[in-house]
């Protein structure tokens, strides 16, 4: 019998609790997304939908030993909608076969580590001559005999998992956590204002996580921006898009230096609000072109003067599409921790971009009237027109 993992088992979350029709559509999409990640990373694997899991098996064309179940499981764990993945050994659904596979996996059981066996059985009860609990203790006894390790059912150092179905079973000792959420492509498209700083990449990641296709838009602020600022945006956009390689999430760059220069010359305390309003209009114009239903930012309430409650009202008044702010209620340390975790945190804080455009004494409690009175009359129309000048930068 096979003694090393020959399959990757993929568990999904919320898609599984939808109505049959919606679940079917979501799982087709999830399977497609996992295939795209495997292709993008050059990992062979045939993705199947199967009962309450996706399975990744060796492709029909794979030579012996060419399929790397662990690599497939690790890659699939990046797909939005996936809760966890496990490289596993396929066995017949019989207790002795399950025990043999588990003992094979226990060959590298760390010395002194405790373990538990978790069994999950589906199918008609009469098919298997055991309950989940009975088979778990039988397999547990075999692992204990082979390794001398102690059982800890509450907080084991390692869990051996048995996924038992009517005609086959899967035994695993390793589990990779996925992001959860919904499969990308199931919730339409949004245009995200993307500076490449700490917040907007995390916001884009959160939007992907809820199944949206994200089109990132960067405004090049001319003398207030800089090539390193743009390079950072390209790099972080590429990092976020790695989990959805079949979606066109390349950075759209809009040359906005002239508009910013004029805004700096014309405005004082309300400048950042006018800039944010112009940004929203650029994003809306792009949204119209790409068929997006909304726009998004990385703003968090009260984090900056332009993001106070009253000021958010003023910026939103320039938009007609819904403005999504996935980080609205998040604290900065949490956002920083998440940026590190998803790989978008950039160490050097650049003193470029919005920080340099900001006035010395920014307004924190603006009214729509005061902002409109200060900003150039043609600002929003000019912002819409600028969207036409966008170009695409591919970070990969
Ligand atoms: N140059 C830019 N191009 C596109 N969007 C931008 C740009 N600068 C800011 N934004 C958008 O405006 C939001 C608020 O920007 P601001 O600089 O005030 O805050 P921030 O918390 O530093 O954001 P970030 O960390 O995302 O740069 C950003 O999250 C982003 O959505």
Q: Model confidence over 248-279: pLDDT tens digits? A: 999 999 999 999 999 999 999 999 999 999 99
Contacts of 147 (CB under 8 A, 6+ apart): 106, 109, 115
Verify whether ligand 1 is closer than 6 Å to residue 218 (CB atom).
Answer: yes
**Same domain, residue pair 347 and 387:** yes
ipTM beyond cut 0.90: yes
Our answer on whether the CB atom of 305 is closer than 6 Å to any ligand 1 atom is no
Confidence band (pLDDT; 50, 70, 90) for 128?
A: confident
Residue 160: strand, helix, or coil: strand
Closest ligand 1 atom to 306 CA: 18
Look at residue 137 in the predicted model and tell me its pLDDT: 95
Q: Is 193 annotated as a binding residue?
A: yes
pLDDT digits (tens, 9 = 90+) for 230-247: 999 999 999 999 999 999
Q: Is 115 in the pocket of ligand 1 (CB under 6 A)?
A: no
Instruction: Say whether both 224 and 358 belong to one domain.
Output: yes
* 269 and 348 co-located in one domain: yes
Measured CA to CA in angstroms, residue 246 lies from 41, 43, 77, 192, 371 at distances of 12, 15, 16, 18, 41
Q: Which residue has the tokens 């102690």?
A: 150
Residue 376 sits in a domain of what CATH number? 3.40.50.620
Q: Ligand 1: does its nearest atom lie under 6 Å from the Cβ of 195? A: yes
pLDDT at 349 over 70: no
pLDDT category of residue 18 using cuts at 50, 70 and 90: confident
The SS3 call for residue 285 is: helix
Average pLDDT over residues 158-185: 96
Does the Cβ of 194 fall within 6 Å of ligand 1? yes
In a domain, 183, yes or no: no
10 lines ligand 1 (CB under 6 A): no
Query: Is pLDDT at 209 greater than 70 in this prediction?
Result: yes
Centroid of ligand 1 to alpha carbon of 141 (angstroms): 57
Q: Is the pLDDT of residue 205 over 70?
A: yes
Answer yes or no: do 103 and 195 share one domain. Answer: no
Share of the chain above pLDDT 70, in %: 97
Return the pLDDT at 335.
Answer: 96
Distance (angstroms) between ligand 1 centre and the Cα of 92 equals: 54
Q: Tell whether ligand 1 has an atom less than 6 A from the beta carbon of residue 221.
A: yes
The Cα–Cα gap between 98 and 129 comes to: 13
Please tell me the distance from the alpha carbon of residue 343 to that of residue 150, in angstroms, as a whole number: 37
Protein residue closest via CA to atom 11 of ligand 1 = 193
Q: What is the pLDDT of residue 126?
A: 74
* Spatial CA neighbour of 325 closest among 356, 367, 283: 283
* Average pLDDT of every residue of the chain: 93
Supply 131's token pair: 């309950």
- Domain for residue 265, yes or no? yes
Instruction: Please count the structural domains in the chain.
Output: 2
pLDDT given at position 350: 60
Whole-angstrom distance, CA of residue 362 vs CA of residue 354: 12
Q: Residue 193 C-alpha to ligand 1 middle, in angstroms?
A: 7
What are 33-72's pLDDT values in tens digits? 999 999 999 999 999 998 789 999 998 887 777 899 999 9
For 275-328, the pLDDT digits (tens) are 999 999 999 999 999 999 999 999 999 998 889 999 999 999 999 999 999 999
- Residue 198 sits in the same domain as residue 300: yes
- Whether 257 has a binding-site annotation, put simply, is no
Task: Give the mutation target among 190, 191, 197 for probing the ligand 1 site: most ligand atoms within 8 A of CB.
Answer: 197
Note whether residue 1 is domain-resident.
Answer: no
Q: Give pLDDT, residue 120.
A: 92
Report pLDDT for 52.
Answer: 83
Atom of ligand 1 nearest to the CA of 303: 21
Residue 184 lies in a domain: no
Domain range holding 317? 189-392
Which of 177, 198, 226 corresponds to the end of one domain?
Answer: 177
Q: Does any ligand 1 atom lie closer than 6 A to the CB of residue 200?
A: yes
**Beta strand segments in 92-212, E:** 115-121, 158-164, 169-172, 176-177, 189-193
pLDDT(17) > 70: yes
- Which residues fall within 8 angstroms of residue 202, CB to CB, at 6 or more apart? 298, 326, 327, 335, 338, 339, 342, 344
Q: Strand 53-57 vs strand 7-12: parallel, antiparallel, or unpaired?
A: antiparallel
Please tell me the residue having the least CA distance from ligand 1 atom 2. Answer: 195
Residue 1: predicted pLDDT: 55
């Amino acid at each position: 019998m096979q003694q090393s993992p020959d399959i990757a088992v993929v568990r999904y979350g919320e898609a599984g609790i939808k109505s049959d029709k919606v679940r079917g559509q979501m799982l087709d999409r999830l399977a497609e997304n996992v295939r795209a990640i495997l292709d993008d990373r050059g990992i062979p694997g045939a993705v199947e939908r199967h009962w309450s899991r996706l399975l990744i098996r060796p492709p029909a064309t794979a030579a012996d030993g060419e399929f790397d179940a662990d690599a497939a499981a690790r890659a699939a764990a990046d797909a939005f909608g996936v809760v966890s993945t496990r490289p596993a050994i396929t066995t017949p659904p019989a207790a002795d076969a399950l025990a043999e596979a588990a003992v094979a996996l226990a060959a590298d059981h760390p010395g002194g580590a405790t373990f538990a066996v978790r069994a999950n059985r589906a199918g008609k009860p009469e098919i298997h001559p055991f309950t989940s609990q009975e088979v778990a203790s039988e397999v547990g006894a075999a692992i204990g005999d082979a390794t001398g390790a102690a059982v800890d059912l509450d907080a084991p150092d390692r869990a051996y998992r048995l996924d038992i179905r009517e005609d086959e079973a899967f035994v695993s000792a390793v589990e990779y956590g996925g992001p959860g959420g919904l499969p990308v492509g199931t919730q339409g498209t949004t245009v995200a204002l993307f500076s490449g700083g700490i917040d907007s990449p995390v916001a884009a990641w959160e939007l992907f996580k809820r199944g949206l296709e994200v089109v990132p838009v960067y405004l090049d602020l001319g003398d207030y921006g800089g090539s390193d600022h743009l390079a950072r945006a390209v790099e972080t956009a590429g990092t976020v898009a790695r989990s959805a390689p079949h979606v066109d999430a390349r950075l759209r760059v809009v040359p906005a230096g002239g508009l910013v220069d004029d805004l700096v010359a014309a405005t004082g305390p309300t400048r950042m609000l006018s800039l944010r309003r112009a940004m929203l209009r650029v994003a809306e114009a792009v949204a119209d072109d790409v068929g997006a239903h909304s726009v998004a930012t990385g703003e968090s309430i009260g984090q900056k003067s332009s993001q106070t409650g009253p000021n958010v009202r003023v910026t939103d008044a320039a938009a007609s599409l819904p403005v999504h702010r996935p980080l609205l209620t998040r604290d900065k340390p949490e956002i920083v921790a998440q940026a590190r975790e998803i790989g978008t945190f950039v160490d050097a804080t650049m003193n470029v971009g919005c920080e340099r455009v900001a006035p010395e004494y920014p307004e924190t409690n603006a009214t729509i009237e005061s902002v409109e009175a200060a900003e150039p009359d043609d600002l929003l129309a000019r912002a819409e027109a600028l969207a036409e000048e966008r170009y695409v930068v591919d970070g990969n």
